[in-house]
Amino acid sequence: MHRAHTAFSLALSPMAHKNFATWLLKSSSSQQMAKVTAAAAVRTYNSAAAEPFANGSTASYVEEMYNAWLRDPTSVHTSWDAYFRSNSYVSPPNLAPVQANTLPLTAFNFGGAVAGAAPDSKTIDDHLAVQAIIRSYQIRGHNIAHLDPLEINTPELPGNSSTKSIYANFSFEPSEQDMDRQFKLPSTTFIGGDEASLPLKEILNRLENVYCNKIGVEFMFINSLEQCNWIRKRFETPGVLNFSPEEKRLILARLTRATGFEAFLAKKYSSEKRFGLEGCEIMIPALKEIIDVSTELGVESVIMGMPHRGRLNTLANVCRKPLNQIFTQFAGLEAADDGSGDVKYHLGTYIERLNRVTNKNIRLAVVANPSHLEAVDPVVQGKTRAEQFYRGDQEGKKVMSILIHGDAAFCGQGVVYETMHLSDLPDYTTHGTIHVVANNQIGFTTDPRFSRSSPYCTDVARVVNAPIFHVNADDPEAVMHVCKVAAEWRATFHKDCVIDLVGYRRNGHNEIDEPMFTQPLMYQKIRKHKNCLDLYADKLIAEGTVTGEEVKSVAAKYENICEEAFALAKTETHVKYKDWLDSPWSGFFEGKDPLKVAPTGVKEETLIHIGNRFSSPPPNAAEFVIHKGLLRVLAARKAMVDEKVADWALGEAMAFGSLLKEGIHVRLSGQDVERGTFSHRHHVLHHQLVDKATYNSLQHMYPDQAPYSVSNSSLSEYAVLGFEHGYSMTNPNALVLWEAQFGDFSNTAQSIIDQFISSGQSKWVRQSGLVMLLPHGMEGMGPEHSSCRVERFLQMSSDDPDYFPPESDEFGVRQLHDINWIVANCTTPANYYHILRRQIALPFRKPLILCTPKSLLRHPEAKSPFSEMSEGSEFQRIIPDNGPAGQNASNVKKVVFCSGRVYYDLTKTRKEKQLESDIAIVRVEQISPFPFDLVKEQANLYKNAELVWAQEEHKNQGSWTYVQPRFLTALNHSRDVSQSDEQSSSTNTTTTTDHTNLESDTDSDSKSKPWLSRMFAAPNSNGGDPKDPAQTLGGDFNAAKHFDLKNVRHDFNRPAGIAAAPGARIAKTGRKISYVGRACGASTATGSKAQHIRELNALLNDAIST
Ligand SMILES: Cc1ncc(C[n+]2csc(CCOP(=O)(O)OP(=O)(O)O)c2C)c(N)n1
Ligand SMILES: [Mg+2]
């Protein structure tokens, strides 16, 4: 523990004999206190938001002081004098009703005072002092609570001096007589139960017990009196910590399982890393208690995110994942199904089962998480939000998330803060998350004093006013109480809260590590420390709740269960990744031809309808005052619709509108996306005179359309991209898009990109159709804001540069099926429209990384006729030259291949130089997977031409290093199948056999009926409606049909794990591709506009010359 310890007992020790009220007025520290109190009083009397400072004693006290000041300004401290002189204080009206928690002095029933007589000033002072002490316990009791089972930290630790000095001034030395005096309890405490007053001794005892024992509650920073009182009541009411014998036995049984599980693994797999929970085993009963109480309060589905520590134990004992499946993970078996898998303490799961305590059905999912600590947090939140959305659970009463953290990661990782800040945003809230910190007071080998600057590892939660419940992990009953309160808090206020389970780590970071190297003293203590189960069993035996025999028999029973599962695991020959899916989509893949893409063109009348709606003001236009500039935008849109052409914004709206019509939910999120960073989108029109009155035409396209959501996000990339990724994983029948403000900002979300988006399917068999919109283009805006670093995305594309897959009509879709993601840079609104629609038309889901334009948004030539979006049209992976050069190919001297907005510069220069017949310009719109077939076709068309690749990005950036080897492979005209490739196809056939086995195997497994998968059926033939509950109960889960690459792969793409071909860099045909453009550069662009223009002109001159 690393906290600012404070010896509150000092308040009772013989310190300077000064009464509290006098101190408040005169002491040197009083100025600060006075300001706080005065400010609080103002808040109360101005009836602003209820605030804990502004209640009880302080308000009455200020009133008293005000009266004194009126009589004699010199009788109060100068700070009060200045304050009252400033007229800031508003005296409460005499007849005003007494405010909640504000007691007039006359309400006190002062012990010893004669009834009806005015109390003397000492009585008043003493009462004020007692009230101040009650309040101090509430505010700072946690600082000296006994939270650390190891008791390593003492109040002597540095960091406590500031608070110590405050307490020193609170000194109130009651005499023995005072201790027996009755003091009226203010309405801000519940320690009295039914008693209105208590002897001082009892008050102090009770406070000490509530706030300084094994629970430390941080909550007084919360800006809601109601919430503060709610918490006070939950902890202060006498008897809250009394548990029935049954409850105690349940805790013991659960703790036995949690402890027994780790012990069993330690026994059977002594040399394996498992990141055991020893020292914090109470986390398992704690999670179960949270889930029990939440289920009782209406929750039906819990989505959890957690790191390595205790993950297997959670899967086994919280989710009740079959133990044999867990043990199989230790056996190092081959996988029977697709997916490269991940280590066992990263895999996800979901389970639907009966909660035996509440007798209600519950669905539990643990989201697969990467090694990158806390990266899963926003993903869990996005998934939770999506599940709430699809269930129509608008207040989060049925679906909730629990995030489990390590102490070092919780305070160290910035994404925790970013995720916390999503917690109360209307389009991102999950209506309260319970955070559980498995606080073992260490991070790998680093002590808290070297890993954080804050007193507690949980301080980040204070920014969102989340109460924080610290609890000693060696006190199971205290832990259960805290968990119950946390679950009730979430159900009552739908806000985040934190449980800080302060325990220790019995072993090293993993079981093979030696902790004595770095924490010798701590581990000497740990070695001598009894484990929590033994401590609790001893306690229950001593108090007669259980017998020693019972304790032993519960442990033996669980060991037997483990042994049986262990024996069963030994009979397994393969692991199955399907067992570790956190949200399978059955009903989506079933019965689908994995190579059939639905058409993306729509009827022209649909485009016209959407265009008209999109360009119209709200129906009540007369009352809805729109900005004049936007009226012009709408008029321009209308003119385009009349001409049947679309610009970028209109093309996008056509894609969204047509998908919404087909029942596909569309969600666009990112910074300033509602208007669009470049002021081109304007999906939300704002009434110029009425706050919060808005109109979003895409929500009103068709009466039975799917919901459209467009949300300006917080200024975060990491958390928001993670959130949208999580959202996209929940239901395949939704188009989820995240837009970066500028493409380069996506690099602050790099771990979401690397750990989830690029690799999600291969690591966790988890598909996602998420679209990342990344504004990209070298437009002289300086080193930033130019490039979305497309080269990085391309570098992570999984297609083989040296392998030309077999050609067929399905070439394009086969490639998409096999790749990890799609990278594209479209140059026309029509192609943008098609690629968005194709995300949904595909029979599987792949993330789409889309470079989007900036200046092209208004470029007069970057427009598309409706004919390119209507029925019969489709996405063009390559846009050939369709001018004079394309029509007379044999005369063409040079073909310039390019991608993105530079196309428009190239055509302009070509026109200026009158080289339209000599130079063809071909646009590669889908960069990855590389359109080998179409590049080959284009090269063949221009048989005699020189081939160049022109790009505006520097040579070491952009697409060049990705396209160059692939061009050469394409120019070879034939597949370069080496000897090793022939072998690889036979290897693949072997794998195929396994798949066949798997199919029969999983048919019998289909009884497991995954819960989430049954919620989402594929859309029906007329588009389907994912909201229709009849549809959400689709077919059974059948893993074999999920990603049945066996139908696709054969010898199509180079199978994974097979050595690549030598990588011919010179085409056998003798043709080559040359680079035209900027030299290598260290930055994405130059900061000088003049330099930028010089470089661009050089590029255009080089490219457009014969
Ligand atoms: C983002 C990130 N950085 C570094 C690591 C390496 N690492 C793995 S565990 C660990 C310590 C974690 O400490 P804590 O959060 O307290 O969890 P504990 O292991 O103590 O349960 C570190 C630094 C990581 N996994 N992720
Ligand atoms: Mg730790």
Mutate to test the pocket of ligand 1, among 311, 444, 509 (most ligand atoms within 8 A of CB): 444
Structural contact between residues 793 and 821, judged by C-beta atoms closer than 8 angstroms: yes
How many angstroms separate the alpha carbon of residue 762 from the centre of ligand 1?
24
Q: Which ligand is nearest to the CA of 374?
A: 1
Could you tell me the strand order of the sheet in which 878-879 lies?
Answer: 878-879, 919-924, 894-898, 946-951, 1073-1077
How many angstroms separate the alpha carbon of residue 319 from the centre of ligand 1?
23
**Strands (E) located in 776-847:** 822-825
Tell the residue nearest (CA) to atom 20 of ligand 1.
443
Task: Note the pTM of the prediction, 2 decimals.
Answer: 0.84
Q: Which atom of ligand 1 is nearest to the CA of 439?
A: 16
H or E element that contains 183: strand 182-184
How many angstroms separate the alpha carbon of residue 147 from the centre of ligand 2?
15
* Residues 6 or more apart in contact with residue 991 via CB below 8 angstroms: 1046, 1055
Q: Which atom of ligand 1 is nearest to the CA of 406?
A: 15
Would you state the pLDDT for residue 665? 98
How many angstroms separate the alpha carbon of residue 444 from the centre of ligand 2?
7
Amino acid at residue number 854: K
Tell the residue nearest (CA) to atom 1 of ligand 1.
372
Q: Which ligand is nearest to the CA of 406?
A: 1
Query: 929 preceded by cis ω (within 30°)?
Result: yes
How many angstroms separate the alpha carbon of residue 308 from the centre of ligand 1?
9
Dist. CA 886–CA 759, nearest whole Å: 39
Q: Which ligand is nearest to the CA of 439?
A: 2
How many angstroms separate the alpha carbon of residue 307 from the centre of ligand 1?
8
Contacts 24+ apart (CB under 8 A), 684-692: 684/710, 685/617, 685/618, 685/624, 685/626, 685/630, 686/627, 687/624, 687/625, 687/626, 688/625, 688/626, 688/627, 689/625, 690/625
Dist. CA 475–CA 251, nearest whole Å: 11
Q: Which atom of ligand 1 is nearest to the CA of 405?
A: 15
Q: Which atom of ligand 1 is nearest to the CA of 440?
A: 20
Would you state the pLDDT for residue 588? 85
Q: Which ligand is nearest to the CA of 276?
A: 1
Dist. CA 421–CA 415, nearest whole Å: 10
How many angstroms separate the alpha carbon of residue 34 from the centre of ligand 2?
40
How many angstroms separate the alpha carbon of residue 678 from the centre of ligand 1?
40
Tell the residue nearest (CA) to atom 10 of ligand 1.
444
How many angstroms separate the alpha carbon of residue 439 from the centre of ligand 2?
5
Query: Residue 365 CA to chain centroid, in angstroms?
Result: 15
Tell the residue nearest (CA) to atom 13 of ligand 1.
443
| Class of residue 667 by CB neighbours under 10 A (exposed 0-12, middle 13-18, buried 19+) | buried
Q: Which protein residues are within 6 Å of ligand 1, measured from CB?
A: 309, 371-373, 406-409, 438, 440, 442-444, 505, 509
* Residues 6 or more apart in contact with residue 625 via CB below 8 angstroms: 687, 688, 689, 690
Tell the residue nearest (CA) to atom 12 of ligand 1.
443
Dist. CA 583–CA 1010, nearest whole Å: 8
Tell the residue nearest (CA) to atom 7 of ligand 1.
444
- Locus of tokens 């509440």: 358
For the record, the structure tokens of 804 come out as 């030309």
Residues of the chain under the 50 pLDDT cut: 1-59, 92-115, 155-169, 975-1052, 1055-1064
Would you state the pLDDT for residue 23? 24
For the record, the structure tokens of 570 come out as 């030994």
Q: Which ligand is nearest to the CA of 440?
A: 2
How many angstroms separate the alpha carbon of residue 373 from the centre of ligand 1?
6
Dist. CA 348–CA 962, nearest whole Å: 33
Mutate to test the pocket of ligand 1, among 373, 404, 751, 755 (most ligand atoms within 8 A of CB): 373
Dist. CA 819–CA 1043, nearest whole Å: 12
